[in-house]
Amino acid sequence: MKWVGVGFSVLLSAVLIGSRWKGVELWFPGNHVVGVVSGVLRGEMHVPFQSTAHAAGVVTISPSPWLLWWFRLYRRGAHAVIDIPLWVLLLPMLLATIAAWRLDTLARRRILAGECASCGYDRPATPAGANCPECGGK
């Protein structure tokens, strides 16, 4: 679990630093065929959507070449554009990874101190490998 978190965090950081994807722009409605085709060629993603206001259209997801610090909502021509900073995705991933590492370190320290890894019960008399007499954990 913690290694998955580390992997995703490193990957997201690499994308953030090394690529044009320093942020994500969502375009609404952007339902012009020419715009969609040229956008795909520029590395954009287009997600079809159905809305009540418009019969059908596409949400255009395009990279932001500059680092976005916060959400932004503005109009560009006929489009409504939402900027989403990628670090907002990275932050919870980093926090979860740090939490997983902390829990793991705590459990290892308890085992070294002769305590139960899950509840911390001091069990010097319990043979190694036996279940904890306090919580039943290993």
Give residues in contact with Zn ion (CB under 5 A).
Answer: 116, 119, 121, 132, 134-135, 137
Phi, psi at residue 91, to the nearest 5°?
-60, -55
CB of 116 to Zn ion, least distance (A): 3
Classify residue 121 by burial, with Cβ atoms within 10 Å: 0-12, 13-18, 19+. Answer: middle
Question: Which is nearer to Zn ion, 37 or 135 (by Cβ)?
Answer: 135
Residue 44 in contact with residue 60, Cβ under 8 Å?
yes
Question: Which is nearer to Zn ion, 83 or 134 (by Cβ)?
Answer: 134
Q: What CA–CA distance (Å, rounded) separates 108 from 115?
A: 10
Phi, psi at residue 103, to the nearest 5°?
-60, -40
Q: What CA–CA distance (Å, rounded) separates 115 from 81?
A: 55
Question: Which is nearer to Zn ion, 65 or 136 (by Cβ)?
Answer: 136
CB of 75 to Zn ion, least distance (A): 59
Question: Which is nearer to Zn ion, 47 or 112 (by Cβ)?
Answer: 112
CB of 63 to Zn ion, least distance (A): 49
Question: Which is nearer to Zn ion, 63 or 120 (by Cβ)?
Answer: 120
Q: Nearest CA to 39 among 56, 25, 53?
A: 25
